[in-house]
C-alpha cells in the first residue's frame, strides 16, 4: 500500500492486481494513464523479481479493468425512482401500474471486439441503487468491468478502458452528460 492508502498491490497465486481507491473526500482520481503507468512499473518490478528468484515464468492469460462509478443524487436526479433521468437503458413503467421503481439494479454483458471484429473480451455492466454510508443521499453504483486478452501481455488494458468509457456514455443520458461536462 502506498503512504496515503489510495493505491495498493494485491498478489495472489494467479493474479497481480493494482487498485486505486478514494479514502477521503479530497482524494482526486489520478486518471487512467497515471494508474496504468503505475501498474506497468509495479508489474515490471514483479516480473524482474520472479526472474531473479528463479520462481518460474509469468504467463498473462487475462487482463481486467474496472471502473466503479458512484452517481450521487442531487444534480439532475433526486431519488432512485429517477433512474430514467440517469440511465438511457431504463424506462419507468406507467405510474398507475406498477408505479415508479423504489430500488433498481441491472446487469448486462457485451462482447469487446478488436480492429478485425474478433472477440477479445467482455464488458460487464452492473448497476445497483444504494445509499451513501451516511445514509442521507441516494446513489447509483455503476460498475463497468472489461475482461479479455490481446496477445500475450497487457495490451488489452487500453481496449478495455476504451470499451468502459464508450459504454458509460452509452448507458447514461445526454442530460447527465451535460451536467457532468462530458463531451465538452
Query: Which range, of 10-24, 67-81, 139-153, averages the lowest pLDDT?
Result: 10-24
Cα of first residue to Cα of last residue in the chain, in angstroms, is 35
In 3D space, the residue among 109, 128, 129 whose CA is nearest the CA of residue 119 turns out to be: 109
pLDDT at position 31 is 84
Residues making up the chain, counted from first to last: 184
In 3D space, the residue among 34, 167, 44, 41 whose CA is nearest the CA of residue 110 turns out to be: 167
Where do you find CATH 3.30.530 in the chain?
60-184
State the architecture of 60-184 in CATH terms: 2-Layer Sandwich (3.30)
pLDDT above 80 (res 20): yes
Could you read off the pLDDT of 85-128 as tens digits, one per residue?
999 999 887 777 787 788 999 999 999 999 999 999 999 999 99
**pTM: predicted TM-score of the whole model, two decimal places:** 0.88
Task: At 89, list the grid cell.
Answer: 437503458
Which residues, including other chains, have CB under 8 Å from residue 138's CB and lie 6 or more apart? 72, 73, 78, 79, 80, 129, 130, 131, 132
Amino acid at each position: 500500500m502506498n503512504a496515503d492508502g489510495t493505491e495498493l498491490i494485491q498478489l495472489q497465486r494467479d493474479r497481480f492486481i493494482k487498485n486505486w481507491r478514494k479514502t477521503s473526500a479530497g482524494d482526486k482520481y489520478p486518471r487512467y494513464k497515471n494508474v496504468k503507468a503505475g501498474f506497468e512499473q509495479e508489474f515490471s518490478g514483479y516480473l524482474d523479481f520472479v526472474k531473479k528468484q528463479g520462481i518460474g515464468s509469468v504467463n498473462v492469460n487475462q487482463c481486467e479493468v474496472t471502473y466503479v462509478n458512484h452517481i450521487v443524487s442531487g444534480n439532475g436526479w433526486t431519488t432512485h425512482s429517477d433512474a430514467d433521468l440517469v440511465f438511457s437503458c431504463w424506462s419507468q413503467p406507467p405510474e398507475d401500474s406498477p408505479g415508479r421503481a423504489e430500488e433498481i439494479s441491472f446487469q448486462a454483458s457485451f462482447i469487446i471486439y478488436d480492429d478485425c471484429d474478433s472477440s477479445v473480451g467482455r464488458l460487464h455492466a452492473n448497476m445497483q441503487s444504494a445509499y451513501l454510508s451516511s445514509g442521507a443521499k441516494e446513489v447509483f453504483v455503476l460498475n463497468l468491468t472489461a475482461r479479455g486478452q490481446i496477445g500475450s501481455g497487457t495490451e488489452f488494458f487500453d481496449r478495455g478502458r476504451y470499451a468502459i468509457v464508450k459504454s458509460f456514455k452509452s448507458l447514461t443520458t445526454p442530460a447527465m452528460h451535460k451536467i457532468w461536462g462530458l463531451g465538452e
